[in-house]
Amino acid sequence: MYSKNKKILSVKGMHDILPIDIGIWEFVENTIYNILNSYGFKKIITPIVEYTNLFKKTLYGSNDIFLKEMYSFQDKLNGEKLTLRPENTSGVIRSIIEHNLIHYGIKKIYYSGAMFRHEKPQFGRYRQFHQIGAEAIDYIGPDIDAEIIIMCNRIWKKLNIKNIILEINSIGDIEDRRLYNNDLIIFFKKYEYMFNSNELKKFYSNPISIFDTKNLEIIKIINLAPKLYNYINNNSIYHFEEIKKILLNNKIYFKINNYLVRGINYYNKTVFEWKDKDKNYSQNTICAGGRYDYLIEKISGKNIPGCGFAIGMERLIEKLKFNNFKKKEYKYDIYIIYKGKQAKLKSFLLAEKLRDIGKKVILHCEHKEKNSNIKSQIKLANKNKVKYSIIIGEKEIKNNTVIIKNMKYFFKKKQIEIPLLKIIDFFKNKKYNL
């Protein structure tokens, strides 16, 4: 896309994650990865592109808008119908089945990466967005549902996330919802004139998905509708009660939301959302998930249960910023400053030796402005917020020494000159007072 002055801009609804924000992104990612690993989850990386038919199988009967928002295309070289993944549970399940991971005892998996949906961009909702998610396969009891929710709670505690609320519900099994949907259609028919075109499509294909609406007038009607909990079977009720017991025993408090159904149709029994209480906009769900005991059967014909969740990274990052999270900037240890050809050669060798002992080193390279004098380079070192700068000029080459400047005292001449051969010892053992 071009602006009026012909500059190329990013695609609408897709955004850059700039170096200034990378610190918080990496901190959040690593924190979540460490927690997932501590619960026995192993990382998987699946392709961004999958066969369109995969999502048609797994998402069929879900919110029709969801399917229409997929970025799908035909490969011009071989005619294959492909889609940029709109969610990653389907891709992860496909990979588990394709590579027979359950046979090797790999039943807990997590992933991270970009997802794509062609929807109207707004605050908290993008066309390219990022998720970290986890899937637990081949576990039938309520304990795994509870453990996943408890694991999410640990993530919020570790990140010091405040004002976040857990909403849970049981949506029963397929037969329960079939009976419920029949009664919903009869009920909603009285108010059909109030539905817009998108809501009407849901009304005929999957009426329970109307509960996911943000339309306040439709919400009033939903409050009068038959209640799902009157339809769910005894097994689902027991499953849900056990989850609640485990959560309360772990002092994880929740709100039961009888209208929480999730927009994707492959869920059954447990569904849950973690919502940001500080935000009053409609996209305030930071994390969501639930049980999907029939999804794998849709893909492979194998009756294998599953349960999982996904965290919206953009929304989580915004939440941390709202809570005045102090960004952890990427710190460099040393900036090497040089003057002259011999000094340049020495600097390259020295930089590698310092990296060998684990130091993060920026070696000055000529910029467009050719600001290669010592004073300009010291200013650049200060902008990069390094701890020390090493100065090698013609005099230092002659004396086989270097100058080390403590950049904490940028405006003072707090520096020492030491023999070049002792530079590694200085940074390794810190014997010198500077």
Q: What are phi and psi of 420, to 5 degrees?
A: -55, -35
Burial, 122: exposed, middle or buried (Cβ in 10 Å; 0-12, 13-18, 19+)? exposed
CA distance 291 to 272: 9
- Give the best-scoring range by mean pLDDT among 41-55, 255-269, 279-293: 41-55
pLDDT band at 432 (very low <50, low <70, confident <90, very high): low
pLDDT tens digit sequence for 242-277: 999 999 999 999 999 988 887 677 889 999 999 998
Looking up tokens 């029963």, which residue turns up? 172
Greatest extent of the chain over all pairs of C-alpha atoms, in Å: 93
Of 163, 278, 311, 175, nearest in space to 231 by CA: 175
Lowest mean pLDDT segment, chosen from 46-60, 224-238, 331-345, 419-433: 419-433
Where are the domains positioned within the chain? 19-173+232-322, 334-427
Closest alpha carbon to 302 in 431, 116, 138, 133: 138
Q: Which residue carries 């918080």 as its tokens?
A: 24
Could you give the strand order of the β-sheet that contains 49-51, starting from the edge strand earlier in sequence? Answer: 49-51, 81-84, 71-74
Question: What values do phi and psi take at 130, rounded to 5?
Answer: -120, 140
Q: What is the CATH topology of the domain spanning 334-427?
A: Rossmann fold (3.40.50)
Query: What class has domain 19-173+232-322?
Result: alpha beta
* Contact (Cβ atoms closer than 8 angstroms) between residue 133 and residue 102: no
Q: What's this model's pTM, rounded to 2 decimal places? A: 0.86
Q: What are the tokens at 329?
A: 């900037």
Q: Which position has the higher pLDDT, 218 or 410?
A: 218
| DSSP one-letter code for 125 | B
Pick from 148, 152, 124: which is nearest to 137 by CA? 148
Mean pLDDT of all residues in 207-226: 83
Phi, psi angles (nearest 5°) of residue 9: -110, 170
Average pLDDT of the residues of the chain: 88
Token code pair at residue 136? 């637990």
Tokens at 375, concatenated: 């004073």
Rounded distance between C-alpha atoms, residue 211 and residue 259, angstroms: 6
